[in-house]
Amino acid sequence: MTERIVVLGGGYAGLGAAKRAARRLRGTGARVTLVNASDRFVERVRLHQLAAGQRLIGLPLPRLLDGTGVELVVARATGIDLGARIVRLDAAPHELGYDVLIYALGSGADLDAVPGAAEHAFTVATAGEAARLRSRLAEARSVAVVGGGLTGIETATEIKAARPRLEVRLISAGRIGDGLSERARRHLHRACDRLGVTVREHAPVAEVGPDGLLLGDGCRVPADTVVWAAGFRVPGLAAASGLATDEGGRMLVDAALRSLSHPGVLGIGDAAAAGTASGRSRMSCQTGLPMGLHAGDAAARLLTGRTPRPARIRYVWQNISLGRHDGVSQFARADDSPLGAAVVTGRLSALFKEAITRGTVWRLRHPGPYRP
């Protein structure tokens, strides 16, 4: 019987894993099947650009998989039978057996964090949600972006740069860019001032309504459009299937990215909580793609009876775009702590991030061996 690796999720981690595993197993007769909800690869790090009205280059998965031998199944996983090693799907073939499973289902916006967010807020967590926000912005007058992390900062500044007449506020429960150095944070504030984005820090949101926000201190922030970028959550499939997960539903994995409860399953990307020098892996493309390439190698080793090597997850930088012509690049230690003086800003940072983003797609087209 032909051995099979099944990869759930065709994002940065899953696509990299599928292509790398197929490359490692070429000529062995083993099959690699990628299951994804659509036939398109989504550059999630560009979705704030899509929301602001920019056109993104189409990246069909069949084209990215051409010549690799990876089979694409367009469907959603609805269940995993860990005992029988079967994945259940909502479309044909409805069931897939596997010898090694790679779980890479990513994350989405956490719209249950406060009352009213699910009913009234927009997000940029998926291409469909970003396109919905783009349509809304065509008639909006005021926008409140909730979340002082990278997604919120990039969304607020991109929208304001593209639509300068729009009133844009950025609301954060703490400081914006809290994990950055003071030098980098000063540039964030200068960029927001230059663009005309109003920043309100230390202002947790208590409720989202049809006409704006109610803050924890009782103040109201009027807005006809609210964008929620204040946290992400993972699908509940791992926990529901019996895989060991943390309190947030992320799969718990060992040093080689194997499930702590079911070693025949590898967990990668946002949906997995891997150990790093700073604790648990951060949800980001920067960790997702290396985890995917490692998982492709690990799955191939498991299928051929060898022990997978430990993954080494380390960080190098954080790139934040502030519109198309400005940005902040904060270089970091391996444990993700910022190197205070190692900051690039302005046009050079914007060009640097664009080069990295394009290079990521190139890396997905050519998934060579994993390097930490």
Does position 99 have pLDDT exceeding 60, yes or no?
Answer: yes
Q: Is 361 within a domain? A: no
Rounded CA-CA distance 360/310 in Å is 23
Please tell me whether residues 126 and 101 are part of one structural domain.
no
User: Are the beta carbons of 112 and 98 closer than 8 angstroms?
Assistant: no
CA 155, 157, 161, 167 dihedral sign is positive
Q: Is 42 within a domain? A: yes
pLDDT at 314: 80
How confident is the model over 55-72, as pLDDT tens digits?
A: 998 899 999 999 999 999
User: Which residue in 210, 4, 10 sits closest to 104, CA to CA?
Assistant: 10
Domain count for the chain, please give it: 2
Rounded CA-CA distance 372/294 in Å is 9
Please tell me whether residues 224 and 138 are part of one structural domain.
yes
Locate 196 and state its tokens: 């005309």
pLDDT at 368: 64
Helical (H) or strand (E) element with 225: strand 225-228
Locate 153 and state its tokens: 């900062």
Of the residues 312, 341, 356, the one at which a domain ends: 312
The residue with tokens 């793609």 is 289
How confident is the model over 213-231, as pLDDT tens digits?
A: 999 999 999 999 999 999 8
How confident is the model over 222-256, as pLDDT tens digits?
A: 999 999 999 889 999 999 999 999 999 999 999 99
Please tell me whether residues 30 and 72 are part of one structural domain.
yes
Which strand ranges, in their side-by-side order, compose the sheet holding 77-81? 77-81, 86-89, 95-97
Locate 178 and state its tokens: 């809290």
The residues with which 182 forms a beta bridge, in sequence order, are none
Span 110-114, average pLDDT? 94
Q: Is 362 within a domain? A: no
Please tell me whether residues 124 and 102 are part of one structural domain.
no
CATH of the domain at 293: 3.50.50.60
Residues of the chain with pLDDT > 70: what percent?
96
Please name the residues in contact with 17: beta carbons below 8 A apart, sequence gap of 6 or more.
Answer: 7, 102, 104, 266, 268, 292, 293, 295, 296, 299
Please tell me whether residues 95 and 244 are part of one structural domain.
yes
pLDDT at 276: 63
More confident site: 315 or 320: 320
pLDDT tier at 282, thresholds 50, 70, 90: low
Amino acid at 299: A
Please tell me whether residues 153 and 249 are part of one structural domain.
no
Model pTM score: 0.93
Please tell me whether residues 244 and 100 are part of one structural domain.
yes
Cα within 13 Å of Cα(121), Cβ side: 25
Q: Is 323 within a domain? A: no
pLDDT at 143: 98
Please tell me whether residues 82 and 33 are part of one structural domain.
yes
Structural domain harbouring 211: 116-230
Does position 372 have pLDDT exceeding 50, yes or no?
Answer: no
Q: Is 351 within a domain? A: no
Of the residues 312, 340, 361, the one at which a domain ends: 312
pLDDT tier at 364, thresholds 50, 70, 90: confident
Rounded CA-CA distance 19/22 in Å is 5
Per DSSP, the residues of 16-37 read HHHHHHHHHTTTS--EEEEEES
Lowest-confidence segment of 77-86, 134-143, 238-247, 267-276 by average pLDDT: 267-276
pLDDT at 287: 81
Rounded CA-CA distance 126/138 in Å is 19
How confident is the model over 135-181, as pLDDT tens digits?
A: 999 999 999 999 999 999 999 999 999 999 999 999 999 999 998 99
Please tell me whether residues 225 and 161 are part of one structural domain.
yes
Of the residues 272, 288, 312, the one at which a domain ends: 312
Helical (H) or strand (E) element with 48: helix 47-51
Does position 89 have pLDDT exceeding 90, yes or no?
Answer: yes
Please tell me whether residues 223 and 242 are part of one structural domain.
no
Please tell me whether residues 53 and 198 are part of one structural domain.
no
pLDDT at 283: 66
Secondary structure (3-state) at 369: coil
Q: Is 319 within a domain? A: no
Q: Helices 346-365 & 285-303, crossing angle to 10 degrees?
A: 20
Does position 346 have pLDDT exceeding 90, yes or no?
Answer: yes
Please tell me whether residues 187 and 121 are part of one structural domain.
yes
Q: Is 368 within a domain? A: no
Span 35-53, average pLDDT? 96
pLDDT at 342: 93
pLDDT at 117: 97
pLDDT at 22: 96
More confident site: 45 or 275: 45
